Amino acid sequence: MDDKPYSVFTHNEKKIIVICAGLCQFFSPISGQIYFPSLDAIAHDLHVSYSLVNLSITTYLIMQGIAPAFVGGFSDSSGRRPTYLVCFIIYMAANIGLGVQNNYAALMVLRMLQSAGGSGTVALSNAVVSDIVTSQERGTYISYISIAPQAGPSLGPIIGGLLGQYLGWHSIFWFLLICTGVILIPVALFFPETCRKVVDDGLIPPPKWSRCYMNTWIEKRLIGEGNAIPYEKRDELARKRKIRVPNPLETVKIVFTKEAGFILGYIGIVCCTYYATIALLPSQFGTVYGFNQIQIALCYLPLGCGSLLASLVRGRIIDSRYKVHAKRLNMPLEYNRRVDLSNFPIERVRLEVAVPTLALGTACTIGFRWMIQYKVNLSGPLIFLFVIGFCTSSSLNIVAVLLIDIYPGSAGSAAAANNLVRCWLGAGATSGVVPMINKIGIGWTTTFFGLLNVVFAPILWYVMKNGPKWRRATKKRKEREQAKRDAKTDVGGEKGGQ
């Protein structure tokens, strides 16, 4: 264990940082959910079929997977604050365009642009947690950061339904534009740079153009505690740092590693089931129960409430399991200290918490759709939606924490890899669910997706068993590569000095 503090930020400062990052992350989920209740109205106004409008959800998810691959890598090298600024500009421009357009092609293109701006903040938020928090308390902070985005599934459809019903579906995008401006103000004032390649543990000041009010506050506290602020180190890092074109291949490489690839593949299958469920709610609730936009929107409320409950309680459970295993293995539990996880079964610690929620969520998903097919009382599907929201959100939080544990130095790229897999597989599920329902019915369609979760569940056991071995092998390989690079540098220096 390293005796040097992992981060100079205090607990309250970390909470402010996490809240700001969570608010930024709010836009990606709400932009997707707020749109659902108006799908029928959009199809009618643009004179296209429901399937074509549903395709705009698919393209949104595709871009939601691509954009973080650029954003994550860029933020890992250039900083979080400038990357957030770029995401906000793209997102606001897209909403302005969506608010004035009346063309299907424009809708598709601008929704992809909106997705690019909003989804980039998801990878950034998880990276921020990696910057300031160690593994033993990471679950709690990931839960903090997910509170605002988990409000999207509950608030988004209700707001979208009300706006669509009374002001028209264009008003949805003007509403999102106003919300962006409101949130941008506190983020600009109170969100400091956290990227460890820019500010290290937070002691090194960020570049002058990337400062905020909180930086002044933190520096005064550090000086009062007797710390010397290394301004010369800031200038040195600035000279070495180069703004590079983001390389999405770094994210793709993570997808195909054994350490992350298997678990990403399985969680992507789980997301297929989830996205297929939420995509069919407007059409099925409208057809089966004869609901209007507002009534359909209210049916999303249990889903969002379940997700919100998961964000409030799941983090403490994740961290408590870490403590149990750490005590069992006589591992130190001193907070704000870097710990070597090479011989620690972090995969088992995280995934054993996810297994019960994955099983329960799969069972409820299958049951929910058979209820819809047989047109049972509305209370049954709504209760099951609550459980689905809780279980899916819990599982995604756990995977997010695990990826940061495995790739602490490239958390932005790791979060982007997570987005890439689950959004692309979710896009495929969203585009295929309506044709499948038309062919075999909603009950058998959902049973098919649920059985995928069951059939591929042994992947979790495989990762828990082999994960530590894979990480140790990767660490040794990187050490050998670094040693070779150092040897070449030494040889080059000797030749130059002769």
Percent of the chain with pLDDT over 90: 9
| Structure confidence by residue, pLDDT tens digits, 220-259 | 888 888 888 888 787 777 766 666 666 677 788 888 888 8
Q: What is the pLDDT of residue 10?
A: 87
Of the listed ranges 323-327, 404-408, 435-439, 463-467, the least confidently predicted one is: 435-439
Q: What is the pLDDT of residue 459?
A: 92
Q: Which CATH superfamily is 11-228+245-490 part of?
A: MFS general substrate transporter like domains (1.20.1250.20)
> How much is the pTM?
0.77
Q: Hey, what are 95's tokens? A: 């909403």
Q: What is the pLDDT of residue 448?
A: 83
Is residue 141 scored above 70 in pLDDT?
Answer: yes
Q: What is the pLDDT of residue 316?
A: 82
Q: How far apart are CA 74 and CA 80, in angstroms?
A: 9
Instruction: Please state the domain extents for the chain.
Output: 11-228+245-490
| Structure confidence by residue, pLDDT tens digits, 286-301 | 777 878 767 777 887 8
User: Would you tell me how many other CB atoms lie within 10 Å of the CB of residue 330?
Assistant: 6
- Of the candidates 142, 172, 178, the residue with the CA atom closest to the CA atom of residue 160: 172
Residue position matching structure tokens 């890092």 = 237
Mean confidence (pLDDT) of the chain: 82
- Degrees to nearest 5, angle at CA 429 with 428 and 433: 125
Position 190 confidence tier, pLDDT thresholds 50, 70, 90: confident
Q: What is the pLDDT of residue 493?
A: 56
Q: How far apart are CA 333 and CA 390, in angstroms?
A: 29
Percent of the chain with pLDDT over 70: 92
Is residue 29 scored above 90 in pLDDT?
Answer: no
Q: How far apart are CA 325 and CA 350, in angstroms?
A: 11
Is residue 1 scored above 60 in pLDDT?
Answer: no
Q: What is the pLDDT of residue 497?
A: 54
Position 495 confidence tier, pLDDT thresholds 50, 70, 90: low
HEC per residue, the chain: CCCCECCCCCHHHHHHHHHHHHHHHCHHHHHHHCCHHHHHHHHHHCCCCHHHHHHHHHHHHHHHHHHHHHHHHHHHHHCHHHHHHHHHHHHHHHHHHHHHCCCHHHHHHHHHHHHHHHHHHHHHHHHHHHHHCCHHHHHHHHHHHHHHHHHHHHHHHHHHHHHHHHCCCHHHHHHHHHHHHHHHHHHHHHCCCCCHHHHCCCCCCCCHHHCCHHHHHHHHHHHHCCCCCCHHHHHHHHHHCCCCCCCCHHHHHHHCCHHHHHHHHHHHHHHHHHHHHHHHHHHHHHHHHCCCHHHHHHCCHHHHHHHHHHHHHHHHHHHHHHHHHHHHCCCCCCCCECCCCCCCCHHHHHHHHHHHHHHHHHHHHHHHHHHHHCCCCCHHHHHHHHHHHHHHHHHHHHHHHHHHHHCHHHHHHHHHHHHHHHHHHHHHHHHHHHHHHHHHCHHHHHHHHHHHHHHCCHHHHHHHHHHHHHHHHHHHHHHHHHHHHHHHHHHHHHHHHC
| Structure confidence by residue, pLDDT tens digits, 406-463 | 887 777 778 788 878 877 777 777 667 767 777 877 677 778 888 888 889 999 999 9
Q: What is the pLDDT of residue 241?
A: 65
| Structure confidence by residue, pLDDT tens digits, 97-138 | 999 988 899 999 999 999 888 887 877 887 888 888 888 888
Q: What is the pLDDT of residue 410?
A: 76
Instruction: Answer whether 159's CB lies under 8 Å from 298's CB.
Output: no
Q: What is the pLDDT of residue 176?
A: 92
- Of the candidates 407, 460, 132, 442, the residue with the CA atom closest to the CA atom of residue 270: 460
Of 185 and 486, which is predicted with more confidence?
185
Q: What is the pLDDT of residue 231?
A: 80
Is residue 471 scored above 60 in pLDDT?
Answer: yes
Of 74 and 495, which is predicted with more confidence?
74
Is residue 21 scored above 80 in pLDDT?
Answer: yes
pLDDT, average across residues 79-97: 91
Is residue 477 scored above 90 in pLDDT?
Answer: no
Helix axes 104-132, 411-440, angle to 10 degrees: 140
